[in-house]
């Protein structure tokens, strides 16, 4: 009778046992992996809860089910959500994200002491994660521990500056709309200070907004915080604070700032038709006259500005050239301009000056006259004591009779404002 050697039988049994073990392990891993992957993509509470039954030892399935349950505004769902988070943290006690959401769930349930412990645990597990510091800081603020909360919030902003805008609004509301207190919450964080400056400016406290902005390091004003600076400059401009607007905008753009001076007085840079700075040259709508930099007819520098009038008839067909200028209130200025004209026009073309905010006309220059050589002319005006911003415009007088037509060429170069007192 044939018999299998004992060692051979044991070897085969060991092989079979190994195959069964590996198959079971692979089946478990496949089951866990499918459940885990599906849980991260679940799009309904029902699916998430079904995955819990499929893989009850996977913390991700419990976490997903708890998140979906938290979205339903009823007691049963809130209890289910809290239970789901409790199971998830028990299965994954080192997962900071689950602890953070568990803290939020406990806060919603009114269990603030346990919520505090959950947020503390999340912070201990991920001390350098901005999202954790942000969640914990907001929780502390909601619990009335505002100073402690903003310590966490400032930590969050250092890692994720995009939190600054929301933090500034939170500081403003938490302070009871008290600027002094809100500034204390901002501490010395430059991103939060800049964002709070915007909040205060929108609330009308332009003085405190400017004080905050001037405390922001200059290198950040023109790099990371440039967009905030440009927004702030526009708020100052709209609030009639033109010198402050110039200061903030110039710092954000990395340009020199000088009150009582044109920006690009010699037309060395192209004039944009949109997205221009507050104090850049601006063109009205339309195409007549056409305007380009000219490098063969110029008074100095590389270029002059060349304007070609192609039979401009009615008033609406002629677009204007203008620039806002920050000036000293009550000062007297002389506007000096140089031009060369080959023009036939009726009515006249001239420079004019008006206060920006009140739109009060301050002065008109003499009509431009045809001259094949460069001509220099000037006129004076006094800035009203209540304004520090003027608008200087090249315009044509109103059409009151026929003919009303402008033809020919005009070159402009080397404009200048000279303060006389």
Q: Is the pLDDT of residue 252 over 60?
A: yes
Q: Which CATH architecture has domain 9-253?
A: Alpha Horseshoe (1.25)
Q: What is the mean pLDDT of the chain?
A: 85
- Give the model confidence (pLDDT) of 280-294 as tens digits: 999 988 788 999 999
Per-residue confidence (pLDDT) for residue 65, from 0 to 100: 65
Confidence of residue 318 (pLDDT cuts 50, 70, 90): confident
Q: Where are the domains of the chain?
A: 9-253, 282-419
Mean pLDDT of 221-237: 96
Taking the C-alpha atoms of residue 166 and residue 162, their distance in angstroms, rounded to an integer, is 8
Specify the CATH number of the domain 282-419: 2.60.120.260
| Three-class SS state of 173 | helix
Taking the C-alpha atoms of residue 242 and residue 266, their distance in angstroms, rounded to an integer, is 22
Task: Tell me the residue length of the chain.
Answer: 421
Per-residue confidence (pLDDT) for residue 403, from 0 to 100: 78
Q: In what order do the strands lie in the sheet with 389-396?
A: 282-283, 321-326, 389-396, 349-355, 361-364
Mean pLDDT of 349-369: 97
Q: Is the pLDDT of residue 317 over 70?
A: no
Confidence of residue 20 (pLDDT cuts 50, 70, 90): very low
Mean pLDDT of 295-319: 85
Taking the C-alpha atoms of residue 408 and residue 344, their distance in angstroms, rounded to an integer, is 6
Mean pLDDT of 10-39: 39
Q: Is the pTM of this model over 0.85?
A: no
- Give the model confidence (pLDDT) of 217-228 as tens digits: 999 999 999 999
- Give the model confidence (pLDDT) of 116-128 as tens digits: 999 999 999 999 9
Taking the C-alpha atoms of residue 387 and residue 279, their distance in angstroms, rounded to an integer, is 16
């Amino acid at each position: 009778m044939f018999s299998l050697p004992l060692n051979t039988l044991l070897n085969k049994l060991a092989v079979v046992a190994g195959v069964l073990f590996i198959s079971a392990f692979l089946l478990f891993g496949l089951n866990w992996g499918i459940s885990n992957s599906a849980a991260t993509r679940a799009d309904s509470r029902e699916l998430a809860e079904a995955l819990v039954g499929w893989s009850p030892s996977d913390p991700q399935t419990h976490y997903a089910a708890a998140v979906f349950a938290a979205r339903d505004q009823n007691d049963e769902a809130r209890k289910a959500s809290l239970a789901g988070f409790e199971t998830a943290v028990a299965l994954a006690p080192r997962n900071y994200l689950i602890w953070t959401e568990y803290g939020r769930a406990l806060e919603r349930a009114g269990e603030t002491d346990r919520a505090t412990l959950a947020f503390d645990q999340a912070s201990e597990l991920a001390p350098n994660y901005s999202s954790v510091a942000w969640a914990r800081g907001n929780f502390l603020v909601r619990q009335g521990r505002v100073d402690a909360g903003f310590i966490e919030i400032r930590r969050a902003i250092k890692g994720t500056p995009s939190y600054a805008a929301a933090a500034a609004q939170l500081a403003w509301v938490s302070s009871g709309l008290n600027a002094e207190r809100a500034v204390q919450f901002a501490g010395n964080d430059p991103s939060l200070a800049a964002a709070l400056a915007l909040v205060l400016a929108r609330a009308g406290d332009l003085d405190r907004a400017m004080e905050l902005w001037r405390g922001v390091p200059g290198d950040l004003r023109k790099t990371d915080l440039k967009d905030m600076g440009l927004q702030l400059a526009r708020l100052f401009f709209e609030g009639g604070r033109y010198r402050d607007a110039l200061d903030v905008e110039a710092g954000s753009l990395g340009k020199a700032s000088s009150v009582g001076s044109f920006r690009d007085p010699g037309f060395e840079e192209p004039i944009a038709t949109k997205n221009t700075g507050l104090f850049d040259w601006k063109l009205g709508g339309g195409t007549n006259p056409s305007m380009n930099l000219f490098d063969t007819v110029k008074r100095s520098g590389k270029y002059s500005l060349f304007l070609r009038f192609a039979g401009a008839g009615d008033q609406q067909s002629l677009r204007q050239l203008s620039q806002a200028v920050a000036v000293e209130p009550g000062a007297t200025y002389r506007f000096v301009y140089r031009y060369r004209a080959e023009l036939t026009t009726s009515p006249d073309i001239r420079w004019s000056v008006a206060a920006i905010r009140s739109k009060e006309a301050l002065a008109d220059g003499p009509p431009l006259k045809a001259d094949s050589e460069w001509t220099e002319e000037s006129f004076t005006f006094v800035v009203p004591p209540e304004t520090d911003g003027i608008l200087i415009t090249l315009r044509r007088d109103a059409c009151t009779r026929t003919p009303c037509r402008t033809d020919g060429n005009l070159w402009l170069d080397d404009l200048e404002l000279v303060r006389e007192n």
